[in-house]
Amino acid sequence: ELCSPEYWVRHVREAVRFADGISTLQEQGVTRFIELGPDGVLSAMGADCVEDAVFVPTLRKDRNEPEAAVAALGRAYAYLLGACVSLAGGDEVLLTGRLSVQSQPWLAEHAVGGTVILPGTAFVELAVRAGDQVGCGRLVELTIEAPLVLPETGGVQVQLVVGPADDSGLRSVEFFSRPEGAEFDEPWVWHASGAVGTEQSAPATDLSAWPPAGVAEVSVEGLYERLAEAGFVYGPLFRGLTSVWRSGDEVFAEVALPEDAAGEAGRFGLHPALLDAALHALGVGGLLDEGAGGHLPFAWSGVSLHASGAARLRVRLARTGQAAVSLEVADTTGGAVLSVDSLVLRPVDGQAAVSDGVGRDFLFRVDWTPAALAATESGDEFPVVVDLVSAGEDSDVPGAALGLASRALELVQGWADEDRALVLVTRGAIAVGSDDEVADVAASVVWGLVRSAQSEGAGRFVLVDVDD
């Protein structure tokens, strides 16, 4: 029928019923649609017709046709996470995958200080995916400790470890990576950790009236040029912020994926580039003192995904604290898509944040250097040395630890205004080498307490651990 003239005459004279055709195919179990045509127009239209489906245009203008066709086939079947394994002997789940700018070229559009890093919103997407795998649809919390740098060539191995459920049903989730082709015993870099739990109901915020009444429009002109000057370079996929309005401590924004990428929204719960673009409204709307160009997502709390596959969003952002906001995200009809109870952003220098990140080892370790204790004469100008060693009774380690902590606290509080240094000496309270053992467990509390005082800048304190 497709080759008959009558078929195409009907197309000209009658309704095409494209949406009905796509919906019927989805009802029959079709989840991936590949467009055989010169561009991605139908993929964008298809994404507006159904949810939870993947639309991949085969050809793109100004691209090599064989390469574009192969890349489209790969996108139809490739995800950020490739395998999920339930570990024997326990309740843990391991999800693995591979990330690279060659396999996921859209990631190359997110660069900070000249280095491509995985967006913080992608960590959220992966955590939600991991939680769904074990029946925990709510991301209770997620803290990003170290950036995940993507090299110009090659890729990185990624692992997500979901821990066993505790008494309340919460499961821990941790992110690790290491370079592709690494030796078997090469350590993994720990990037983020958090917890997932059971799903929550959709938020009560109504975004059906758009834009909300009583808001003032804020211009977004020149935003991405200013961000680029600050070291935050975003490609077209991440430049989705189209409109911003503000009312007091609330900012409302509209974001959308480019037309040629809208068909890929169904591959994600919420496309990381789309959520990342929503955060760009924070600086424009004045909710962050230093502007969006100086902040990156750090800690997420209470993240719930209510619908997937959206290519255009309405967003409400409200200040909840210093450099902290809540988010309510809806589709173009006002239907709930995502809610975030709290997002804390961390100020960074975009020009220097991860400029040397390619190949950099973010798994730092403490290195100890042996030092001899020189004898000193007594006098006010010399430091005061105090021994803090437990009695050594293994049966009462908690009691000994409490006693030493109380003694150390008393010394620290009484020495806050002194000009001389107070040297606190322990013996075997820490392990300074890979083969060392902690001989005086109770005295270990002294190190934690005094380090806290050092970080607050109160007094002059020196910690010394000696070998008997």
pLDDT tens for residues 96-137? 888 888 878 899 999 998 899 999 999 999 999 899 888 898
pLDDT at 394: 56
pLDDT at 358: 40
Q: Contact at 8 Å (CB) between 99 and 107?
A: yes
**Pairs from 149-153 (Cβ < 8 Å, separation ≥ 24):** 149/115, 149/116, 149/117, 149/354, 149/357, 149/358, 149/360, 150/99, 150/100, 150/101, 150/107, 150/108, 150/116, 150/117, 150/118, 151/100, 151/101, 151/179, 151/358, 151/359, 152/101, 152/116, 152/358, 153/102
Contacts of 461 (CB under 8 A, 6+ apart): 412, 415, 421, 422, 423, 424, 450, 453, 454
Share of the chain above pLDDT 70, in %: 83
pLDDT at 382: 59
Residue 373 clears pLDDT 70, i.e. is over it: no
Architecture of domain 384-466: 3-Layer(aba) Sandwich (3.40)
Residue 309 clears pLDDT 90, i.e. is over it: no
CATH topology agreement for domains 79-364 and 384-466: no
Name the fold adopted by 79-364. Answer: Thiol Ester Dehydrase; Chain A (3.10.129)
Q: What is the pTM of this model?
A: 0.64
Banded model confidence at residue 391, pLDDT cuts 50, 70, 90: low
Range 232-253 average pLDDT: 94
Top pLDDT among 454 and 350 is at 454
Residue 397 clears pLDDT 70, i.e. is over it: yes
- What's the mean pLDDT when you consider all of the chain? 83
Domain ranges for the chain:
1-77, 79-364, 384-466
Banded model confidence at residue 291, pLDDT cuts 50, 70, 90: very low
